[in-house]
Amino acid sequence: MLRPKDHLFPFRPFVTRSFPVRLFLALIVAAALCGPLRAQSANTITVLMLDGKTGKPIVPSNFIVRFDHRNAVHNDSVSLDDEGVARILVPAGATFLAVQGTFNSSMEIYVNCDAGMEKDISTLHWYSVDEILRSGVAMPNECYKGKYAEATRSIPKPGMFVFFVRKNNWHEMPPD
C-alpha cells in the first residue's frame, strides 16, 4: 500500500541522494556546459595593425576579414576595441585568413605592406589559421626599406596576427 509521502514524491530516491553525489553531478553538468566556451576561445585570433613606417599601432575604422580564399567578408566575427586591437572568432573549418584595415569611416582601405612592392597593391595574401594560432604571424613589411624596416620588426605571440599598412600614395589614388 502506498503511503501519502510516497505518492507525492515518486522520485524520492533521487531527492535523497547524498550531498557528494549531487555535487559530483553538478560539476559534470557544469563541465559539459563550459566545454563549448573553451573551444570558442581557442579559435580566437588577436589582430594588431601597425603603421608600416613607424611601427606604431593604428586604430582603424574597421577590419575586412576573409577566410579560405573566398571574397565573402566576415566582419560579423570581428570585435574591435578602443585601442584598435581586434579579436576574430574563426569559423570552424577555416584554414586561411586575409585581413585589411579601413579608414575614413570605412570608405577607404589601407594598403597592406605584404603587397607594398607589387604592381597590384590590392593583392590579398593569405595566412594559415593554424600557424597563427600555434605560433603567431607577423606579415612582412615591404612598404619601407632600411631604417624603417628595422624599426617595425615585430615578434607576435601565439594566436596573434600582426600586419603593417600604409595609406595610398598620391599616384595610387583613384581619380576624383
pLDDT one digit per residue (tens) for the chain, 176 residues? 555 555 555 555 555 557 666 666 666 666 666 555 444 445 899 999 998 888 889 999 999 999 998 888 988 889 999 988 999 999 999 999 999 999 988 888 898 888 756 667 678 889 999 999 999 999 888 887 766 666 667 778 999 999 898 887 655 555 55
pLDDT at 41: 47
Report the C-alpha gap between 75 and 106 in whole angstroms.
12
DSSP the chain: ---HHHHH-TTHHHHT--HHHHHHHHHHHHHHHHHHHHHHHHTEEEEEEEETTT--B---SEEEEEETT---B-GGGEEE-TTS-EEEEPPTT--EEEEEEEETTTTEEPEEGGGTTSSSTT----EEHHHHHHH-EE----S--THHHHHT---PPTTEEEEEEEPPPTTTSPP-
pTM over 0.85: no
Q: What is the pLDDT of residue 47?
A: 94
Task: List Cβ neighbours of 167 (8 Å cut-off, separation of 6 or more).
Answer: 103, 108, 110, 111
Q: What is the pLDDT of residue 3?
A: 54
**Burial degree of 157 (CB within 10 A; 0-12, 13-18, 19+):** exposed
